[in-house]
Amino acid sequence: MLASLTETRLGAVWDASSPSSILKGDVLRWVGDTATHLLLLLYGRVTAEAVSEAGRTVCYGNWTGPCALDKVAVVDGGGHTATLRALTECHLRALPRAALLDLVDGEASVRRHVLRILAAQARNQQESFTAAATLPGEARLAAWLLEKAAATESLELSITQQGLADRLGLSRVTVNRMLSRLRHAGLIETASGNIRILAPELLQLRTRPET
């Protein structure tokens, strides 16, 4: 978001922001907290999560610095969309909302970046709603594994069964059963929290509603 700013503009952002350090496991922001500052994660990893009405923790994803966290909540001035928790020690700077809005108004590159983020989130939410309404659990699991593999450019993913359950909105027992079917079909291998995709072309067939 800030990569194309001039040194002068970057210096102004640095001066306007305040530093902080967070320990592993600490909460940076709670879901619903008023988003008064944009959190610039300089170093470390953060997860975004929320608790459903049924009491299950839903993980929206993990972010590694450098990146800006929960820009949407800061732009609209509402509450944070998820609870942000440190997965490692983190170093951050907090930029006041007014300073972010000034960047959006005055810097075309920042404005384009924010608009791309908003558009992507709207598209992803629509696709998630469609998948949840039309795809069976195994198809959603297969689609997620392939999407993650494409994003990381690796056929070996590090994620627990509970982590998968949180991301897909399913129970751990259901995810375990689906992984077992894919493993017996020779499409994946699982070991010690790792999932290796053995046959991505065949796994792609499992993303179809009729399979």
Summarised one tens digit per residue, pLDDT across range 23-57 is 999 999 999 899 999 999 999 999 988 876 667 67
Domain 135-205 has CATH 1.10.3720.10: no
Instruction: Provide the pLDDT for residue 211.
Output: 44
Second-level CATH architecture of 7-130? Sandwich (2.60)
Radius of gyration from C-alpha coordinates of the chain: 19
Confidence of residue 99 (pLDDT cuts 50, 70, 90): very high
pTM of the model: 0.61
List the beta strands (DSSP E) in the chain. Answer: 18-22, 27-29, 37-43, 45-51, 57-64, 67-69, 83-86, 90-96, 156-158, 188-191, 194-197
138 neighbors 181 (Cβ within 8 angstroms): yes
> Domain coordinates of the chain in residue numbers?
7-130, 135-205
